[in-house]
């Protein structure tokens, strides 16, 4: 009920610009980026934070979401390939759907690669944040589907690694299919004499 009512109104976006210690803040003027973001349409709150991913960082964003009744969040920090799951969990903990989050990559794609040009890096950071706000505005909540799963593992290769993995899985009650291209398992390890550092037999 509340959700459908919300969607009729304008989105309420929170923007959090992370310093990542000095990783971002040494090159990018995070305060300026946050200030710019605060002026954007639908942005209710925009702040710079020292470490968004830290426990206190996440806590303060969560509190903000609740206090300002936010329904969309932009975290301008590092690569989403690293911390998107972290921040999705964070917004979920604040009662929002995890898919209404977007990240602007101010570290890998900006501060770390334009270290000698802080002004241009800050300009770029503002653009990336602006783009992220534009995107987050129309993000929709999504629900994952639950699918059945086969509790079996294929292990390709019967050398020491394949053998160890197969045994660990099988000893834990999982079925294993072990495929080895040679006529016997053991791989390169079986050909070795003594092995370091213990100087004992390989087989």
Partner 1 sequence: MTDVGRHPRIKLYTLSEVVDVKGYVGNFDVKILKKARYVDEKECTACGDCTKVCPVVRPDEFNLGLSSRKAIYSPFPQAVPSAYVINVNECLGQNPAVCSKCIDACEKGCINFHMSDEEIVENVGTIIVATGMEPYDPTEMDEYGYTRFENVLTSLEFERLVNAGGPTRGEVIRPSDHKRPRSIGFVQCVGSRSARKGKSYCSNVCCMNTVKSTLVLKEHAPDMEVKVFYIDIRAFGKGFEDLYKRSRRLGVQYLRGLPGTVEELPNGSVRVAVENGATGALEFHDLDMLVLAVGVEPPQSTQRLQEMLGLQLTSDGFFLEAHPKLQPVDAATRGVFYAGCAEGPKDIKESVTQASAAAVRAIRLMHKGEISSEPITSEVIVERCKSCGRCAEVCPYHAITVDVKKKTPAVVNTAACAGCGTCAAECSFGAITMNHFTDKQILDQVDALLDQSPQEKILAFACNWCSYAGADYAGVSRLQYPPNVRLIRTMCSGRVDEKFIWEGFAKGAPVILVSGCHIGDCHYIDANHWTEKRVAKIHKKMDKLGIRPERLQLEWISAAEGIRFANVMNHLEALRKSVTPQEISQTVEILKADEKSVH
Considering only residues 32 to 51 of the shown chain, the ones binding partner 1 according to CB under 8 A are none
Stretch that binds partner 1, among 2-10, 48-56, 68-76, 173-181 (CB under 8 A): 173-181
Over the range 51-89, which residues count as b (16 or more CB within 10 Å of their CB) and which as e?
A: ebbeeebbeebbebbeeeebbbbbbbbbebeebbebbbe
Nearer to partner 1, 65 or 128 (CB): 128
Q: Which one of the spans 30-38, 42-50, 66-74, 178-186 is the region binding partner 1 (CB under 8 A)? A: 178-186
Question: Considering only residues 140-159, where is the footprint of partner 1 by CB under 8 A?
Answer: 140, 142-159
Q: Which is nearer to partner 1, 12 or 137 (CB)?
A: 137
Least distance CB 101 / partner 1 (angstroms) = 11
Supply 25's token pair.
């803040």
DSSP-assigned beta bridge partners for residue 181: none
143-178: burial string, b at 16+ Cβ within 10 Å, e else: eeeeeeeeeeeebebbebebbeebeebeeeeeebeb
Contact indicator for 74, 12 with CB cutoff of 8 Å = no
19 binds partner 1 (CB under 8 A): no
Question: Judged by CB under 8 A, does residue 200 bind partner 1?
Answer: no
107 belongs to the binding site for partner 1 (CB under 8 A): yes
Q: Does 162 bind partner 1 (CB under 8 A)?
A: yes
């Amino acid at each position: 009920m509340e959700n459908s009512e919300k969607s009729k109104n304008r989105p309420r976006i929170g923007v959090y610009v992370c310093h990542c210690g000095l990783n971002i803040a040494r090159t990018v003027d995070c305060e300026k980026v946050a200030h710019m973001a605060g002026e954007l349409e639908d942005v209710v709150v925009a702040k710079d934070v020292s470490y968004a991913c830290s426990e206190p960082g996440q806590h303060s964003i969560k509190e903000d979401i609740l206090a300002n009744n936010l329904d969309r969040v932009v975290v301008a920090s590092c690569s989403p390939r690293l911390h998107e799951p972290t921040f999705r969990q964070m917004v979920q903990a604040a009662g929002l759907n995890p898919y209404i989050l977007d990240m602007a990559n101010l570290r890998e794609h900006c501060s770390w690669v334009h270290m000698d040009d802080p002004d241009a890096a800050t300009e770029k950071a503002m653009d990336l944040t602006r783009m992220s706000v534009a995107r987050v505005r129309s993000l929709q909540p999504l629900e994952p589907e639950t699918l059945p799963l086969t509790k079996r593992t294929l292990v390709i290769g019967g050398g020491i690694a394949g053998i160890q993995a197969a045994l660990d899985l099988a000893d834990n009650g999982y079925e294993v299919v072990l495929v080895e291209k040679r006529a016997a398992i053991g791989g390169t390890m079986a050909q070795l004499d003594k092995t370091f550092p213990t100087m004992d037999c390989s087989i």
